[in-house]
Amino acid sequence: MKIERATKQDVPAIAECWVDLRLHQREQLGGQRPSLIGMARQVERNIVKPHCHYFIAKDSGNVVGAAFVRLRSGGRSACLARAYTVPSHRRKGVMRKLEQTIVEFLRKRRITTLDLTVVPHNKEGMAAWPALGYKPTKIVMTKQISC
């Protein structure tokens, strides 16, 4: 397995990852069905922005994991905005390697904190991030308002 910086050629594969990620989150949160074309356009727009960085894991030439990190302006922090491993490759250290590569990338830019958001119903996420060294630092509370 290889970890690489993503290029424009990887946009379709990343978009597929994000659609599946969104479906996974939708099971938990509800919401609209994501569109693959819409997602690809969003990645295409972001991948050229200087504060947006995409990393992919490839196995036998196929994308098996992806992560998107966004640098915050004027600060020493970044956000791991999206992270996904394809189901066939989970629990094989794909995210561990992606995350390590991102941390190394941030270290070189003197960025000292990396944060992410995970919903409590996301069992894999709630298990993976603490195992990779993340600690809860704030609690966001949400109330559903019926119309």
Ligand X SMILES: CC(C)(COP(=O)(O)OP(=O)(O)OC[C@H]1O[C@@H](n2cnc3c(N)ncnc32)[C@H](O)[C@@H]1OP(=O)(O)O)[C@@H](O)C(=O)NCCC(=O)NCCS
Residues that bind ligand X in the complex, under the rule CB under 6 A: 21, 24, 65, 83-85, 90-96, 116, 118, 122, 124-125, 127-128, 131
CA 95 – CA 5 distance, rounded (Å): 14
- The least CB distance from residue 120 to ligand X, in Å, is 11
Nearest distance from C-beta of residue 143 to ligand X, angstroms: 22
Q: Which is nearer to ligand X, 50 or 133 (CB)?
A: 133
Query: Among 80, 68, 11, which residue's Cα sits nearest to residue 45?
Result: 11
Of 73 and 142, the one with the shorter C-beta distance to ligand X is 142
Considering the complex, what minimum distance in angstroms separates the CB of residue 22 from ligand X?
A: 9
Q: How far is the CB of 74 from ligand X (least distance, A)?
A: 26
Distances (CA, A) of 74 to 27, 29, 65, 112, 113: 36, 32, 29, 13, 13
* Closer by beta carbon to ligand X, 57 or else 106: 57
Helix residue ranges per DSSP H, the chain: 11-29, 36-46, 94-108, 123-131
Cβ(41)–Cβ(76) below 8 Å? no
